[in-house]
Amino acid sequence: MAVLDTAAATHIAHRDNHTHRDVNGGWLRPAVFGAMDGLVSNLALLTGVAGGEASSKTLVITGLAGLAAGAFSMAVGEYTSVASQRELVLAELDIERRELRKHPTDELEELAALYESRGVEPALAREVARQLSKDPEQALEIHAREELGIDPSDLPSPMTAALASFGSFALGALLPVLPYLLGATQLWPAVLLALLGLFACGAVVARVTARSWWFSGLRQLLLGGAAAGVTYLLGIAFGTAVG
């Protein structure tokens, strides 16, 4: 009895600790990419314009325009990309559904052969394929997973991706502009806040990628800082040339 209790406790502990993060959702990639892109692009835009000795008012208008343009562009691009991908997947599922309806025996043999190739005995592989193929929708899902590498019940949402991209880009792009909106007249508060935001974004990303938070945060800070530094120098050069 004690052995059974121990085994049950071990099973429960394994079940509770053996969970995985959502790696297929349609929001994570556009949200992370949007926030990073908003921070880096608007910081670089502001530093480039500031290098040309623009006024605070010009920098605010530039930053807000960059925020709006970038957020809408990201949302439209993300929606179109995910919608196109989804439409392609649905088209492939329709093809597979027709094949299951027209050639059920061939599809069953195909599934049985797949299980055999993974080490299942031929008779057992055929029986498993036969039982799984009784339900047409279940058969479609299994063939989609095995042949296309997709889960028909977990396709990304274009609207979710677009909203995540829009909101995260706008939030990221707002940080470099915020000090000017609060009355700052110099560039360094905007740069400091944006760099802190970049480090924080990198650290947050590390929570879902298993990277160390300090490495991910420092990497993003350095990359974003380098982009801002280069555009600042270009702004000075362009300002001098135009002037």
> Each residue of 47-67: pLDDT tens digit?
999 998 889 999 999 999 999
Please, which contacts does 16-19 make with residues 24 or more away whose CB atoms are closer than 8 Å? none
pTM: 0.77
Spatial separation of the C-alpha atoms in residues 205 and 54, rounded to whole Å: 34
Spatial separation of the C-alpha atoms in residues 10 and 126, rounded to whole Å: 34
Mention every residue, 6+ apart, whose C-beta is less than 8 A from residue 67. Answer: 38, 42, 169, 170, 173, 174, 177
Q: Which of 191, 199, 178 minimizes the C-alpha distance to 50?
A: 191
Q: At 120, which amino acid appears?
A: V
Give the pLDDT confidence of 123-167 residue by residue, as tens digits: 999 999 999 888 888 889 988 888 888 888 888 889 988 998 999
Give the mean pLDDT of the chain.
85
